[in-house]
Chain A
């Protein structure tokens, strides 16, 4: 039941009599619910070989999968390709068959003629759940053959008020004779339907000739703009509504796969696609092209009805090689900063509407890696800061007091030792820690796992007392040695048991270092660590406690891996330009010579929060306008709440007080 996917019911004759129907043969009872009855559109789906209903493109019908329908898209593709090679006009009927010919007829339209029966909807039988179709077919078989058990109808299909029946040519006349016969008090109309016979083939050849006519080999461009007024398609009466647009586009994509039958040939043949002037409201209407041509470099979507980012979002993870995108003539261009989002979507996008977004260098940069960005601090940052600044000194100086202050009877603590770092094993002895290490890669017995799971005040205090003495650098005064990130976490157990869905807390991740002291109070090692806290409300109202904690100890590795380096150290005499420039697409990421910025700065890079990007762009503008270094510009903007104009005024007021190294 291949057609089940698009809701049509198609009956295949069974030669077995069905006892429940009094000699009527079993047929598909599912009536088609929608009154589409459109042969042309059905042909389109056959050409497409894809279900286009419900907007869930390509999800249900495997692409190119063999279907029990009239056209096998793969065979079609091969046939067209073969004809292309011979630069002949394609005639589908003459297309050579491959050796892998099915036992199924390759093209039932060749073998059977289609007869359409109407008028049966008025019959008494049509009122039943199966619309009386089994009775009708049995009736036709019986009357046409004049025998009780001979089957003339090979297949049948209901579409709206029409029953299409397929029969062998020699039986055709017998059935056509039943025109004006009475069936269950209704007068039947029985006619030969020639349109159906030609529809799928006509559409294919029309689409193919259209695709070839619109293909520019020199430019490697497939121009599918303005399809609605294409003479070939207009003749076929397409583009009546948006659903059809999707279907036709799916069919065109399939025809393209036939003309250029593999990825390599398609990539060679076509680097640019144009869907300009196509009344598109969303790229879902042309979604198949992203599968057919995933590697195109240029895409023209100008003069459509793409109103917002959502209209383009389905392609945000397609076309990874896209170099040029044209969106002019769409309302999407009125969305503030829409280009920043689009740059994030397409990492190699160089130009948008003929405006350069990225230079070659920047493309190389963004393609090579995700940058190391400053820590993200989300949620209650003040709590995180004050917790860390209080907890660490307490842990270093008085662990029992720290336990009493920060932990509860349901807190859990565990630690694990990662003795290898960057390919090297640390020589410094980990003996004092390994007895506590709950590295699940090594501690595989439930007993060991339980033993090293410290829960409650006593357990945790005992564990802490077994640890060597350590000393952290100051979190406030030696901040460069630390990295802290924090975020809100939902659904923690509520210690009071009152909130059914749990309570909110804070995840805090810190990365840093400490010195470890030996028995003689000498520093024996500097180690790095990662410490993960989950903070949540304690039992006493307003208190904040450590709910869970995990500590990873590892050989000292410094801070270079997590530090986003900003080191603008170029000095020059200030050349002050006081005008406040506008941020435009063009100069947004144009870094002047002499100004030092970190890699990827002010570039829309995958994963960079939009707010951060906007701040980077504003900072860059201020740097350019005032010749202040990045650091000073950043500070100035922070003090003026990221208002560029106020920052300019503040600069004018204070510029004489700035040291020479504030400028580049």
Chain B
């Protein structure tokens, strides 16, 4: 930790790291559980994604959805992908072997016009890498396949960070995702 960083907001690097790791823990657990559950609705799956890019507000657009690439196929909206998950990727079982997470931009909103208090991580984007094994289709007919994905998480603007930790909504949501079976 020799390097000295100029941090543009109130979070120290140690805070950023701790926060990003906690965010990754929660996200990975919830997201792959939802993908593995046949009863997850399209709405439930969509809730893991940022809302469609709001290009009327520059600052807000950084908190918006960009795209999903799944084995070289582009999905341009969370609902489109969630529908495909229900159509093609259900039933499925995901087992996570390894994941790692780094703060990407500690302050997406230095002008404070979208997030007023960044000290709770509400303006930080994250880079998340997840590796594991998935089986698509009924257990007996499916073979395990490794996957690797690269996810950029942004704060969920609809999540209330000021209150006690809530389990009802996701703190961080996917802005960009690249999935590959490997």
A interacts with B: yes
Measured CA separation A349–B87 after assembly (Å): 14
Q: 8 Å CB contacts to B: which residues of A505-532?
A: 507, 509, 511, 528, 530, 532
A557 cross-chain contacts in B, Cβ below 8 A: 146, 182
- Pick from B98, B104, B132, B144 the residue with the most CB of A within 10 Å: B98
List the B side residues contacting A552 at CB < 8 Å. 98, 100, 129, 131, 148
From residue B8, how far is it (CB to closest CB) to chain A in Å? 7
A493 to B104, CA, bound (A): 8
Near B by CB (< 8 A), chain A positions 542-573 give: 548, 550, 552, 554, 557, 561-562, 564
Q: Is B115 an interface residue (CB 8 A)?
A: no
Q: With A and B bound together, what is the CA distance between A140 and B67 in angstroms?
A: 63
Is B117 at the interface (CB under 8 A from chain A)? no
Q: B34 near A: Cβ within 8 Å?
A: no
Tell me, rounded to whole Å, the shortest Cβ–Cβ distance linking A100 to chain B: 28
Q: Does B108 contact A (CB under 8 A)?
A: yes
Does B136 touch A at the CB level, under 8 Å?
A: yes
**Using Cβ atoms and an 8 Å threshold, which residues of chain B touch A554?**
131, 146, 182
B84 at the interface (CB under 8 A from A): yes
Q: Note all chain A residues with C-beta closer than 8 A to B150.
A: 507, 509, 532, 550
Which chain A residue has the least Cβ–Cβ distance from B16?
A453
- Expressed in whole angstroms, the Cα–Cα distance for A458 and B2 within the complex equals 7
Question: Given A416-B131, A532-B129, A561-B146, do A440 and B25 touch, yes or no (CB 8 Å)?
Answer: yes
- Cβ–Cβ contact B104 & A534, under 8 A: yes
Q: In the complex, which residues of chain A have a beta carbon less than 8 angstroms from the beta carbon of B103? A: 412
Q: Which of A193-201, A293-301, A367-375, A644-652 lies at the interface?
A: A367-375
Given contacts A483-B180, A497-B8, contact A371 B73 (CB under 8 A): yes
**A422 and B144 form a contact (CB under 8 A):** yes
A449 interface neighbour in B17, B71, B129, Cβ under 8 Å: B17
Name the distance in Å between B147's Cβ and chain A's nearest Cβ: 8
Residue contact B84 to A534, C-beta cutoff 8 Å: no
Contacts of A487 in B (CB 8 A): 66-67, 69, 176, 178
The interface stretch among A156-164, A211-219, A466-474, A605-613 is A605-613
| B145 interfacial by beta-carbon distance below 8 Å | yes
Q: For chain A, which range describes its interface: under 10, 10 to 19, 20 to 34, or 35 or more residues?
A: 35 or more
Asked if residues B180 and A509 are in contact (CB atoms below 8 Å), the reply is yes
Residues B111 and A500 in contact, CB atoms below 8 Å apart? yes
B4-29 interface mask toward A, CB cutoff 8 Å, 1 = contact, 0 = none? 11101000011001100100110000
Report the separation of the CA atoms of residues A421 and B2 in the bound assembly, to the nearest whole angstrom. Answer: 35
Would you give the shortest CB distance from A369 to chain B, in whole angstroms? Answer: 6
User: Chain B: interface residue count, which band?
Assistant: 35 or more
Q: Closest CB of chain A to B106's CB: distance in Å?
A: 7
Which one of B2, B87, B102 contacts A456 once the chains associate, using CB atoms below 8 Å? B2
The reply on A92 being an interface residue by CB < 8 A is no
Q: Is the CB of A449 within 8 A of B18?
A: yes
Task: Name B103's closest neighbour in chain A (CB-CB).
Answer: A412
Flag if B72 contacts A376 (CB, 8 Å). yes
Report the Cα distance A420→B4, complex, angstroms: 36
Q: How far is the CB of A654 from chain B (nearest CB, A)?
A: 30
**Residues in A neighbouring B145, C-beta threshold 8 A:** 422, 561
Q: How far is the CA of A550 from the CA of B20 in the complex (A)?
A: 14
Which of B62, B83, B98, B144 is within 8 Å of A501, CB to CB? B62
Asked, given contacts A370-B88, A375-B72, whether A414 binds B100 with beta carbons under 8 Å apart, the answer is yes
B39 to chain A, nearest CB (A): 16
Q: Which of B5, B69, B98, B143 contacts A441 (CB 8 A)?
A: B98
Chain B residues in 8 Å Cβ range of A320? 87
Q: Given the known inter-chain contacts A414-B102, A453-B102, please indicate yes or no for A446 contacting B17, CB distance below 8 A.
A: yes
The answer for the CA separation of A605 and B73 in the assembled complex, in Å, is 9
Task: Pick from A423, A492, A511, A548: contact of B102, CB below 8 A.
Answer: A548
Measured between C-beta atoms, what is the minimum distance from A660 to chain B in Å? 32
Residues of B within 8 A of A608 (CB): 73-74
**A317 partner, pick from B8, B14, B79, beta carbons under 8 A:** B79
Nearest CB of chain B from residue A406's CB, rounded to whole Å: 15
Residue interface mask A410-448, B partner, CB < 8 A = 1: 101011111111110000000000000111110000100
Tell me if A578 counts as interface (CB < 8 A to partner B).
no
Most buried by A among B21, B25, B101, B145: B21
* Residue pair A530, B181 in contact (C-beta under 8 Å): no
Taking a contact as CB atoms under 8 Å apart, the answer to whether A607 and B100 are in contact is no
Q: How far is the CA of A502 from the CA of B150 in the complex (A)?
A: 21
Chain B residue numbers with a CB within 8 Å of A376 are 69, 72, 74
Please name the residue on chain B nearest to A460 by beta carbon. Answer: B3
Residues of B within 8 A of A534 (CB): 104, 127
Contact A409 B3 (CB under 8 A): yes
B52 at the interface (CB under 8 A from A): no
Residues of B within 8 A of A417 (CB): 98
Partner of B21, one of A440, A455, A489, A548: A440
Q: Is the CB of A502 within 8 A of B108?
A: yes
A23 at the interface (CB under 8 A from B): no
Alpha-carbon distance A456/B3, docked complex (angstroms): 5
Q: How far is the CA of A487 from the CA of B68 in the complex (A)?
A: 11
CB distance from A613 to the nearest CB of B (A): 11
A459 within 8 A of B: yes
Which residues of the partner chain A approach B24 to less than 8 Å between Cβ atoms? Answer: 440
Kindly report which residue of chain B lies nearest to residue A607, judged by CB atoms: B73
Of the candidates B4, B25, B66, B146, the one whose C-beta lies within 8 Å of that of A421 is B146
B75-89 to A contact mask, C-beta < 8 Å, 1/0: 100011101100111
B-side contacts of A410, CB under 8 Å: 3, 5-6
Most buried by A among B8, B17, B24, B146: B146
User: Inside 8 A of A409's CB, which chain B residues have their CB?
Assistant: 3-5
- Knowing A552-B131, A607-B70, the reply to whether A507 touches B182 (Cβ < 8 A) is no
- Chain A minimum-CB-distance residue to B67: A487
- The answer to whether A493 touches B8 (Cβ under 8 A) is yes
**Which B residues form the contact surface with A (CB < 8 A)?**
1-6, 8, 13-14, 17-18, 21, 24-25, 42, 58-59, 61-62, 66-67, 69-75, 79-81, 83-84, 87-89, 96-108, 110-111, 125, 127, 129, 131-133, 136, 143-146, 148, 150, 152, 176, 178, 180-182
Q: Using A416-B99, A507-B150 as known contacts, list a sample of 18 further A-B pairs with CB atoms less than 8 Å apart, ordered by residue number in A.
A: A372-B72, A376-B69, A376-B74, A409-B3, A410-B3, A420-B133, A440-B21, A440-B24, A497-B6, A497-B8, A502-B105, A532-B129, A534-B104, A550-B102, A550-B129, A557-B146, A562-B71, A606-B88
What are 8 A-B contacts defined by CB distance under 8 Å? A416-B98, A441-B99, A449-B21, A458-B3, A490-B66, A492-B105, A552-B100, A607-B81
List the 10 closest A-B pairs by CB distance, nearest first.
A456-B3, A607-B73, A373-B72, A530-B148, A491-B62, A418-B98, A439-B98, A561-B181, A550-B129, A418-B131
